[in-house]
Amino acid sequence: MLNRYVETSATAAVHSLDHFALEVPELSVARAFYEAFGLDVKKQQDSLALHAFGGDHRWGQLFPGEKKRLRHLCFGAYEQDMAAIERQLEAAGVALLAAPEGEPGKSLWFHDPDNNLIQIRAAAKVTPDAKASSVMPAAGVGTRGAPNRQDTAKVRPNRLSHVLIFVTDVERSIRFFEDTLGLRLSDRSRDIVAFMHAPYGADHHTLAFVKSGGGGFHHCSWDVSSLDDVGLGAMQMAAAGWSRGWGVGRHVLGSNYFYYVRDPWGSYSEYSFDIDFIPATLDWVANNHLPEDSLYLWGPDVPEDFASNYEVD
């Protein structure tokens, strides 16, 4: 049942998930959803850019389209690794595509085996270099530990943690992203789900896969600062009219506490707290877990359509 991680054949690797891009039917609805979620949503020519408050990095981009679909995923790499990554793509028989018109800087564009569009660009590392402090102090004797509800601030995520995409063959996707992007397997559950991390120090998963009838986007996960923020985020979204979701609970794989809010298009945005961190110096052991451990340690029952891929016709 336990499979030790086998070193990837890749000699270079990406260091971060830089951003994701979606097409959605109505940008005004998308703005309302992500602003309620606690993100700083900015107009950017014909699209919307998703930022965390207090930071300049663009974690997500939303374009107008006929229906919701994954437009692309962008990974960041060190400038000195770009040539080696390009050689890895060529060795794997991957056809490189022309960059979209107006795309700045050096970048590589290609499709994964499920036709998900991937970009790699030379960029600064935005994946954290160490695990954030996540102390949950107990109230002292004779004191009250919880604030009044009116004294709580709006939940505002700190950063994008990871995305999970739909794939038709989990094993094939693991090998593809190992051999081309240098991602490393963190954990998996048979051919159902798998979790991969960037090797320069990263959360337990930078990119994850769930088996489906086609490619697509399942969820984006956003780091928050406390378990209270997870629960308050759920209430914050329900008060704004976005009451469908899953949680509060805790995952086995990654160990993070979670609440998933269903977005207007059938995918999810996750509030995540205290995910496992894999430092660059650690030889992480990737295990093949039972299906019962693939989703959660504790929490409410999983919604029946939680893994439905609404991008597949």
Query: Residue 115: which pLDDT band, with cuts at 50, 70 and 90?
Result: very high
> So what's the pLDDT on residue 135?
65
Is a pLDDT exceeding 80 seen at residue 8? no
Is a pLDDT exceeding 50 seen at residue 4? no
DSSP-H helix ranges across the chain: 27-37, 82-91, 170-181, 227-239
Average pLDDT, rounded, for the chain: 93
CB 256 within 8 A of CB 273: yes
236 or 8: which carries more pLDDT confidence?
A: 236
The fold of the 16-127+157-293 domain, in CATH, is 2,3-Dihydroxybiphenyl 1,2-Dioxygenase; domain 1 (3.10.180)
What is the rounded CA–CA span in Å between residue 296 and residue 253? 8
Query: Dihedral sign, CA of 296, 299, 302, 308?
Result: negative
Look at residue 86 and give its three-state secondary structure.
helix
pTM: 0.93
The two tokens of residue 116 are: 């998900």
CB 73 within 8 A of CB 165: yes
> So what's the pLDDT on residue 6?
37
> So what's the pLDDT on residue 279?
96
Is a pLDDT exceeding 50 seen at residue 299? yes
Query: What own/partner pairs with CB < 8 Å and gap ≥ 24 does 28-31 have?
Result: 29/264, 30/62, 30/264
Query: Residue 235: which pLDDT band, with cuts at 50, 70 and 90?
Result: very high
Query: Residue 250: which pLDDT band, with cuts at 50, 70 and 90?
Result: very high
> So what's the pLDDT on residue 3?
34
Residues 17-66 pLDDT 10s: 999 999 999 999 999 999 999 999 999 989 999 999 999 999 999 999 99
Query: Residue 10: which pLDDT band, with cuts at 50, 70 and 90?
Result: low
Query: Residue 138: which pLDDT band, with cuts at 50, 70 and 90?
Result: confident
Of the candidates 78, 73, 74, which has an alpha carbon nearest to the alpha carbon of residue 13? 78
Q: What is the Cα 60 distance to its own chain's centre?
A: 11
Query: Residue 5: which pLDDT band, with cuts at 50, 70 and 90?
Result: very low
